[in-house]
C-alpha cells in the first residue's frame, strides 16, 4: 500500500503534535471550535467509517482534532488522488500530517476503494467525505453511497459527522482562514448500521437526516425550497 510510512508509530507521534499542538492553536486564532456527540463513540470499537460533509480544507484538521487521541491515532482520511496526489510534495505533506489515503474519483467503485479495504482490514477507521468534493456554497451536496457499500460489505458502523462553520471561515478559493474567530461545530451522530436488505441509498438517507437535524441544508431541503418557490 502506498504511503504506509504515514501510519508508523514515529509519524503518528509527530502527527499528534502537528494537529493538537500546531494546527489546533492556529485554528483557534480564527475560529471557536465546539465538539458535540463524542458520547456516541463511548463503547464503540473500531474500525468505523466517519462520514462527514465537506465545504473547506479546514474540515480535515478540525475533525481529526475533535477525535479523542485513541481514535485519532487509528484513523485515516480518504483524499482525492487527482487533487492531493498529483504533486509529490503535497502528497507527502497531506499523508504525513493528516494520514490521508488516495482515492480515485474517476473509474470503477472497486478501484476507488481498494486502498480503503486494505486499511479497514488492518483495523483503521476512516474519514470519508460523502459528497466527494467541497461544497461551493456551504450547503450539503449529493451524498455518494460508497461509504454505505463499504459499511455493508465490511459490517462496519457509520458515524455521521456534521461540520458547520468552516465554509464561513475558509471557503473554497481561500488559502487561509478569514479573520474573525467564527464558530465551528463538529457534531458526531449515533452509529448507523446497514440493515439486512437495506439499499445503500437508504443508508445514506439516514446520514442526510442527521445532517438536516444539525441544521444543514441538504439536497432534499433544496428541492423542497425550489418547489415552494415555483
Per-residue model confidence (pLDDT) at position 221:
61
Per-residue model confidence (pLDDT) at position 156:
96
pLDDT tens digits, one per residue of 51-110: 999 999 999 999 999 999 999 999 999 998 888 888 889 999 999 999 999 887 665 454
Confidence tier at 229 by pLDDT (50, 70, 90): low
Cα separation, 138 vs 113, in Å, equals 26
CATH 3.40.1130 fits domain 4-229: yes
Nearest to 53 by CA among 183, 218, 170, 222: 218
Q: Which alpha helices (H) appear in the chain, and where do they start and end?
A: 9-16, 24-30, 59-66, 69-72, 81-84, 88-98, 109-121, 146-154, 166-169, 200-213, 219-229
Amino acid at each position: 500500500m502506498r504511503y504506509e510510512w504515514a501510519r508508523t508509530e514515529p509519524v503518528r507521534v509527530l502527527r499528534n503534535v502537528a494537529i493538537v499542538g500546531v494546527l489546533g492553536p492556529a485554528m483557534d486564532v480564527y475560529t471557536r471550535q465546539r465538539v458535540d456527540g463524542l458520547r456516541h463513540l463511548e463503547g464503540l470499537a473500531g474500525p468505523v467509517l466517519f462520514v462527514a460533509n465537506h465545504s473547506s480544507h479546514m474540515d480535515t484538521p478540525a475533525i481529526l482534532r475533535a477525535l479523542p487521541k485513541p481514535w485519532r491515532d487509528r484513523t485515516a482520511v480518504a483524499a482525492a488522488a487527482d487533487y492531493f496526489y498529483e504533486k509529490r510534495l503535497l502528497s507527502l505533506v497531506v499523508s504525513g500530517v493528516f494520514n490521508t489515503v488516495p482515492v480515485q474519483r474517476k473509474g470503477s467503485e472497486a478501484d476507488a476503494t481498494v486502498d480503503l479495504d486494505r486499511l479497514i482490514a488492518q483495523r483503521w477507521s476512516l474519514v470519508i467525505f460523502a459528497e466527494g468534493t467541497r461544497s461551493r456554497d456551504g450547503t450539503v451536496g449529493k451524498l455518494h453511497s460508497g461509504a454505505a457499500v463499504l459499511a455493508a460489505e465490511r459490517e462496519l458502523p457509520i458515524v455521521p459527522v456534521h461540520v458547520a462553520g468552516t465554509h464561513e471561515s475558509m471557503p473554497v478559493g481561500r488559502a487561509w482562514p478569514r479573520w474573525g474567530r467564527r464558530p465551528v461545530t463538529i457534531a458526531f451522530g449515533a452509529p448507523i448500521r446497514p440493515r439486512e436488505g437495506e439499499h445503500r441509498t437508504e443508508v445514506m438517507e439516514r446520514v442526510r437526516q442527521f445532517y438536516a437535524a444539525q441544521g444543514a441544508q441538504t439536497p432534499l431541503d433544496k428541492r423542497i425550497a425550489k418547489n415552494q418557490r415555483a
